[in-house]
Amino acid sequence: MKNSVFVIISALQGESSAMNSAIPLILHPVCGRSMLRHALAAAGCLTGNPPLVIFDGDGEALEEHLAEAEISDLISVKYSTLSEWFQVLARHSSGYEYLIQLPANLPLLSAAALEGLLQFTAGNQLDAVIMSEDEDAWTTIKPGHAVLCFRTKWLYDALSIHARQLEAMPPDALNFKGFLETGEAGKAIFHPPHPEELMSVTDRICLAEAEARMRLRINESHMRKGVTFIDPSHTYIGPDVHISRDTIIYPGNVLEGSTVIGSGCILYPGNRLHNALIGDKVSLQSSVVLDSSVGHETTVGPYAYIRPGSRIGSHARIGDFVEIKKSLVGRGSKISHLSYVGDAEIGENVNIGCGVVCVNYDGKRKQKVTVGDHAFVGCNVNLVAPVEVESHAYIAAGSTITERVPSKALAIARARQVNKEGWVDKREEREQKKTEENQ
Catalytic residue among 92, 162, 274, 337: 337
3-class SS of residue 370? strand
Measure the CA–CA gap between 278 and 134, rounded to whole angstroms. 46
C-alpha distances in angstroms, 303 versus 127, 278, 348?
59, 17, 23
Terminal C-alpha separation, the chain: 97
Burial class (CB in 10 A: 0-12, 13-18, 19+), 56: buried
Partnered with residue 259 across adjacent β-strands are none
Burial class (CB in 10 A: 0-12, 13-18, 19+), 30: buried
Q: Are strands 242-243 and 299-300 parallel, antiparallel or unpaired?
A: unpaired
3-class SS of residue 345? strand
Burial class (CB in 10 A: 0-12, 13-18, 19+), 163: exposed
**Cα angle at 396 between 393 and 397, to 5 degrees?**
135
Burial class (CB in 10 A: 0-12, 13-18, 19+), 68: exposed
3-class SS of residue 226? coil
DSSP characters over 253-291: -EEETT-EE-TT-EE-TT-EEES-EE-TT-EE-S-EEES
The sign of the torsion formed by the CA atoms of 380, 386, 391, 394 equals negative
Q: Rounded to 5 degrees, what are φ and ψ at 122? A: -70, -40
Query: Which helix H or strand E contains 24, and what residues bound it?
Result: none
- Is there a catalytic annotation at residue 337? yes
C-alpha dihedral (171, 117, 155, 133), degrees to nearest 10: -60
Catalytic residues: 337
